Amino acid sequence: MRVIHLCVLVLSLCAGSVQAATIMVNSSLDNETNDAFCTLREAIKAANTNTSYNGCVSGSGTDTIV
């Protein structure tokens, strides 16, 4: 039983952390241009791919779009 507890402890310490992002939509346009603005369409793509996309920040995990 100690071995199992030790394995669980080691695995939980080695697991990578998940950093969710708050993606701020700051444009009401419906386009995908590489500029400083983040449209709703671009925010959804950034959240789905966990990468920054045309002015929207990246994150991993459960992102929030506001």
What confidence tens digit (pLDDT) does each residue in 2-59 have? 766 655 656 555 555 567 889 999 999 988 888 889 999 999 999 999 999 998 998 7
Give the pLDDT confidence score for residue 49 in this predicted structure: 92
Q: How many helices (H) and strands (E) does the chain have?
A: 2, 2
Longest dimension (CA), the chain: 58
Between 12 and 62, residue with greater pLDDT? 62
Domain locations along the chain: 17-65
> CA 26 → CA 2, 4, 12, 43, 64, distances in Å?
53, 49, 38, 10, 14
Contact 34, 54 (CB under 8 A): yes
pTM of the model: 0.67
At 55 the three-state DSSP class reads coil
